[in-house]
Amino acid sequence: MFTLHHQDKNTKARRAALKTSHGEIQTPFFMPVGTNATVKSLSNEDLENIGSQVVLSNTYHLFLRPGMDVIKNAGGLHKFMNWNKPILTDSGGYQVFSLSQFRKITDEGVKFQSHLDGSSHFLTPEDIVSIQGILGSDMMMPLDECAPYPCGEKEAKKAVERTTLWARRSREFFLASPLKGKHLLFGIVQGSNYKNLREQSAKEIVDIGFDGYAIGGVSVGEPIEFMFHAIAQAGPFLPKDKPRYVMGIGLPDQIVKAVGEGIDMFDTCIPTRYGRNGSAFTSRGRLVVRNAEYTSDLRPLDDQCDCYVCQKYSRSYIRHLYNANEITGLYLISYHNVHFYIKLMQRIREAIESDCYDQFQKEFLSCYGSTL
């Protein structure tokens, strides 16, 4: 299901295709985040126009609202949200730890209170796979324990052990269910910022055997270089014939660097969140379009961009809409930003195919700038 098309000569970057029940995805790829079964402020038509291959949605949020009955009634998440391309759903583990009002974690599973209405829930790793089965996710994530940052080694080790235990139970449940063959189940590597734990976790998770491997426990408030440590620590133990996914990453320059380290899959709510905050991504870095300097600037957000927003609207107009609290303003910036991410991945794929990824990286960063 994962076909390697090309390995870049000078970096670890690779071009591949990942086969799912809703079509093949060209890697490396970016997944816009649709927490509540929609990418914030965009419609599916927008995502199709932009050329998004896939959408990510959040199990925790959908489980609580609208709830499984509603999605089951619609015939699954694809039909519910009318999105016919692949969907990845996370496990909800991260959300349980970061959002719920109360939580108790045992080896058996997680007990938590909804951040919406305080209702109590208990979910096992098997439940999490089962729920994603009802959602009909093409790519499922097993329940894992995401260690906070910072995290002591003992606590991080416990999280690794529990993540492995849950991964094994998830995989066994998955293989014994009708989900097998129709869906992909990923494994998640934990280990915080400890080399030995990242190695241990990667080995144990790979030993169980999954359809793809994610590096979790990043993007939890740690310095960004720790994410690259985690990639460097776990990477050597991940099989080359499976997709690699760094969860919740990142800014454009971070994605460009991570692809060079052999990562295939990314997701982050940054393009839409920054869009709602009035910040546009451009080939020359971030542009805070709400700023006064753009009051009468008739140029597009990015003169290198071919999205319809940049063909049709000026910074002056978009700034006005944003400052007048018009939804259309944050919509236009969000559209442009998601387009920026999707086109960036397209350029990344082309650069790898042409064996010039290192040159692409340099050119991109010299124009865009770097946060690293």
CB of 302 to a second copy, least distance (A): 17
90 is catalytic: yes
CB of 27 to a second copy, least distance (A): 27
Give the helix/strand (H/E) hosting 348: helix 327-353
Label residue 335 exposed, middle or buried (CB < 10 Å: 0-12, 13-18, 19+). buried
CB of 234 to a second copy, least distance (A): 34
CB of 39 to a second copy, least distance (A): 8
107 is catalytic: no
Selection from 72, 67, 39, 40 nearest residue 55 by Cα: 39
Encode 87-100: b = buried (16+ Cβ within 10 Å), e = exposed.
bbbbbbbbbbbebb
Q: Annotated catalytic residue: which of 8, 46, 90, 302? A: 90
Which conformational region is residue 145 in: left (phi greater than 0), alpha (psi within -120 to 50 degrees), or beta?
beta
CB of 338 to a second copy, least distance (A): 13
Output 236 or 292, the one with its CB closest to a second copy: 292
Output 47 or 234, the one with its CB closest to a second copy: 47
Q: Which residues bind a second copy (CB under 8 A)?
A: 36-45, 61, 65-66, 69-70, 73-74, 80-82, 295-296, 298, 308, 312-314, 316-317, 319-321, 323-324, 326-332
Output 38 or 283, the one with its CB closest to a second copy: 38
Output 55 or 249, the one with its CB closest to a second copy: 55
Encode 227-264: b = buried (16+ Cβ within 10 Å), e = exposed.
bbbbbebbbebbeeebbbbbbbbbbbbbbbbbbbbbbb
To 10 degrees, the CA torsion angle through 156, 157, 159, 165? 170
Q: Are 219 and 249 in contact (CB under 8 A)?
A: yes
Output 48 or 207, the one with its CB closest to a second copy: 48
Q: Annotated catalytic residue: which of 8, 138, 264, 267? A: 267
Q: Which residues are catalytic?
A: 90, 267
